[in-house]
Structure 1
Amino acid sequence: MISALLAAAAVLALLTLVPGPDMAVVTQAALAGGRSSGFRVAVGIISGLLVWGLLTVLGLSALLAASAEAYTAVKLAGAAYLIYLGARALWGSRSSQLRSVDAPRSQKAGTWKTGFTTNLLNPKIAVFYTSLLPQLVPAGWPTGPSLALLVIIHAAISIAWLSAYVVLLSRARSTFEKPKVRQALERVTGTVLLGFGAKIALEAR
């Protein structure tokens, strides 16, 4: 049983490491606002995961996954939000070279709300939790409590990975603070966010 749980944790870890919208918004926040901004966004993302996990345990996320209309509505809202974040990052990069290293960072660069909204408006999480997560429940274990445990494990792995990622970015701060480098990175992350938004809007279920 324990080996099955460890195998499930390994699968969740691999899925967590795959780059996606969550990592993109954390990157943008950490580059624009520093370590604290990156952490705030990461906590928001985990909060979104826990909400999806609760809905999964209660069986409500399955309704979203089964309803084409609800899925499309959440998908388009999530895509629009990512496109907004990407456009904002690209617009902000126009003045990056004018900001000195000692200039105060924007307090709005990364917020809990940004991470929470990005994750909550990602219907792929609902599909993942309702389709893959039940398959990871060890044989013979009660479904509800097991799903809750897997959600907690996924959240723990995600916050550990995102926090480590933010720390890595902050340690390279001296390089990222160079105006030309910062501008280039903001443009890259902005473009990536736009790309994720467009991909989510256009892809089929």
Structure 2
Amino acid sequence: MIAGLDPVNVAAFLGAGLLLNLTPGSDVMFASASGLAGGPRAGIAAALGVALGGLLHTALAAAGLAALLVASPLAFDAVRWLGAGYLLFLAVKYWRAGPAQGVAGTAGLGRAIRRGFVTNALNPKVALFVLAFLPQLTDPATGPVWQQILVLGLLFSTTGFFVTAGYGALAGVAGKALGQATGWMGKVAAVIFGLLALRLVVE
């Protein structure tokens, strides 16, 4: 057993997590928009940032801080509005940008990673999901719960990265095929970021 986790439960968890990741959600939409605007590598980089943001939420849950966030409506709303504001900032930035030139070099990829991380880190609904889902699969009798949460979160973020990166890469390929240099893919990405901001606020 890893960190006291039942291998059967872990396998079932990975299967459920994979199905969940395959269903397009906010993470997939963000990586896909990044890929459309910046190419396949940008989509993959954004997916990595999203995965790192998920690991942050896992660490907060393991430390018990996520419970404090969820228990405080004021803090929850503050983080939610910050996340929506950041997405709107990206929407305006992409809308005003000129024809897409793709993401070249480590600076551009680092920017995509950072944006994916910040977007996911400022989504309190991810914290709520992690807090509600992962502890159910832990067993205090077999080892420290915080270690089990960290392992489960790492596994979920890893599988989620590959799925989300696949969507981001495919969107990047499609963006190039549709004429990324015309600048229209940046506009499409801007609309997607705006919709994600709206979704974060109203749901």
User: Which TM-score bucket, shorter chain as reference?
Assistant: 0.7 to 0.9
Contact 2:47 2:113 in 1 (8 A): yes
Alignment correspondent of 1:137: 138
Partner of 1:200: 200
Match of 2:189 in 1: 189
Q: State the secondary structure of the residue aligned to 1:105.
A: coil
TM-score by length of 2: 0.82
Superposition deviation, residue 77 in structure 1: 0.3
**Which moved further from structure 2: 20-29 or 46-55?**
20-29
Alignment of 1:53-132 (within 5 A): 53-92=58-97, 95-96=98-99, 104-105=101-102, 108=108, 111-132=112-133
Q: Which runs of 5+ in 1 are unaligned?
A: none
CA pair 134-158 structure 1, distance change in 2 beyond 3 A: same
- Kept after mapping to 2: 8 A contact 1:45/1:116: yes
Alpha-carbon contact 2:87-2:196 (below 8 Å) kept:
yes
Most deviating of 124-133 and 105-114: 105-114
**Shift of residue 54 of structure 1?**
0.9
Aligned-partner SS, 1:7:
helix
Aligned residues: 193
- The offset of 1:144, in angstroms, is 2.1
Distance 1:125 1:141 in 2: 26
RMSD, matched Cα: 2.5
Q: Determine the C-alpha separation between the residues in 1 that align with 2:180 and 2:84.
A: 31
Distance 2:75 2:180 in 1: 44
Assess, with a 3 A threshold, how the Cα gap between structure 1 residues 79 and 170 changes in structure 2: closer, same or farther. Answer: closer
Provide the TM-score with structure 1 as the length reference.
0.81
Q: Which residue of 1 aligns with 2:8?
A: 3
Q: Secondary structure at the match of 1:132?
A: helix
CA contact (8 A) 1:90 1:190 kept: yes
Q: 1:3/1:19 Cα in 2 relative to 1: closer, same or farther (>3 Å)?
A: same
Greater CA drift, 167-176 or 45-54: 167-176
Mark the CA change 1:56 to 1:82 in structure 2 (over 3 Å): closer, same or farther: same
Identity over aligned pairs, percent: 27
**Pair 144,68 (structure 1): closer, same or farther in 2 beyond 3 Å:** same
| 2:41 corresponds to 1:21 | no
Letter in 2 for 1:193: F
Aligned amino acid, residue 150 of structure 1: L
1:46 shift after superposition: 1.5
Partner of 2:154: 152
Q: Which secondary structure does the structure 1 equivalent of 2:194 belong to?
A: helix
Measured in 2, the distance between the counterparts of 1:178 and 1:54 equals 38
CA distance in 2, matches of 1:19, 1:91: 27
The one-letter code sitting in structure 2 at the alignment partner of 1:166 is G
Q: Any stretches of 5+ residues in structure 2 without a counterpart?
A: 1-5
| Partners of 1:87 and 1:173 in 2: CA distance | 19
